[in-house]
Amino acid sequence: MKNISSGKAKTFFVLIGVNILIIILLTILSPTFVTYGNLSAVMQRMSELGMLAIAETIVFISGGFDLSIGVVMALSGAVAGTLNAMGVPFGLVILIALLVGVGVGVLNSFFVVNLKLQPFIVTLATMSILRSIVYALLKGNVLTGLPTGFLDLGYFYILKIPFLFIVFIVTGVLVAILLNKTITGRKIFAVGGNEQTAFLSGIYVGKIKYLVYILSGLISAMAGLMFTIRIRAVIPDAGLNAPLEVVTAVLIGGTTIYGGKGSVLGSILGILAMYLLLNGFSLLGLNPFWNVIILGIILIVVVGQEGIGKSLKMLLPGKNREMEAL
């Protein structure tokens, strides 16, 4: 346990140092970076992807995988926009949009728990199917006309902090408490650490997996509503690149794809570092296509760091001689 705690602390300090370094460099390279308008925009824009990072963190810790987070974000917005256009009372619209996320979580859980399918394959299929449903609902159109009071939440600030960012942070705190301070959280870590051992110790593994994917779907649906508020419209391509961005940020934050290890704080610091980089690219006028390329490189390095390290050691002359001696 001490090793795990020290490992978490090391990850946090490294991420904090990386964020500080990025901030210093961008402050030097771009005088507009430290303006309130830019920093406020960064907080708003990272809020919905931060929510998705929280959702993915829960799933990763349990030993699962969820590629459907981005499309759930799009689907909740599409459902909200469609129902609003049909004249459904907006309170009910919000409830149904959130329940759609819960429903996707139940569907993913059913295939993973009851049919024993691989989470990666299940959520990849779900992502493809639901994206087609989003396009069918919106017919390629951008929906507007949502209630002004709802959209104006994007302009609402508390102590000069965007409301959407506050929702993101509060959600992160609540999930962190769930994971670290409750019996349910310990069960989620146990299932991710060793599913068989967790089962033998009396944990209902299937129920924990259902809970995890339902939470992921609900939080992703919340992210979809937040995205709709921020851009003041519903678009078909919402969350299209979210899986790459979110998985990269979560892995940078110290959560592993093998389960049993991770933290919400690490994921938040990871998403912050990523968004600071993206914001810096924008301020410096760099080609946005480089964003995806760099994220892909970071993802390969983070996921494959152990294998890369071993390969580099094998290239050392001393190591080669040791292998030849064996």
Q: Are residues 180 and 307 in the same domain?
A: no
* Domain count of the fold of the chain: 2
Q: Are residues 180 and 237 in the same domain?
A: yes
The domain that holds 138 is classified in CATH as 1.10.3470
Q: Are residues 77 and 47 in the same domain?
A: yes
Provide the total of helices (H) and of strands (E) in the chain, helices listed first. 15, 2
Residues paired with residue 251 on neighbouring β-strands, in sequence order: none
Q: Are residues 278 and 136 in the same domain?
A: yes
Helix/strand/coil (H/E/C) assignment for every residue in 191-258:
HHHCHHHHHHCCCCHHHHHHHHHHHHHHHHHHHHHHHHHHHCCECCCCCCCHHHHHHHHHHHCCCCCC
Residue 125 structural domain = 2-286
Q: What is the pLDDT along the chain (326 residues), one digit of tens a residue?
A: 455 555 567 778 888 888 898 889 888 988 888 888 988 989 998 999 999 999 999 999 999 999 999 999 999 999 999 999 999 999 999 999 999 999 999 999 999 999 999 999 999 999 999 999 999 999 888 998 899 999 999 999 999 999 999 999 999 999 999 999 999 999 999 999 999 999 999 999 999 999 999 999 999 999 999 999 999 999 999 998 888 889 988 988 888 888 999 999 999 998 898 888 888 888 887 766 666 677 667 666 665 544 444 444 555 555 554 444 44
Q: Are residues 112 and 18 in the same domain?
A: yes
Q: Whose CA is closest to 252, among 16, 2, 58? A: 16
Q: Are residues 301 and 185 in the same domain?
A: no
Tell me the Cα Rg of the chain: 21
Q: Are residues 183 and 86 in the same domain?
A: yes
* Burial grade of 59 (CB within 10 A; 0-12, 13-18, 19 or more): buried
CB atoms within 10 A of CB 246: 30
Q: Are residues 133 and 254 in the same domain?
A: yes
Q: Are residues 188 and 247 in the same domain?
A: yes
Q: Are residues 125 and 28 in the same domain?
A: yes
Q: Whose CA is closest to 226, among 61, 54, 58, 104? A: 54
Q: Whose CA is closest to 62, among 182, 219, 205, 174? A: 205
Q: Are residues 124 and 246 in the same domain?
A: yes
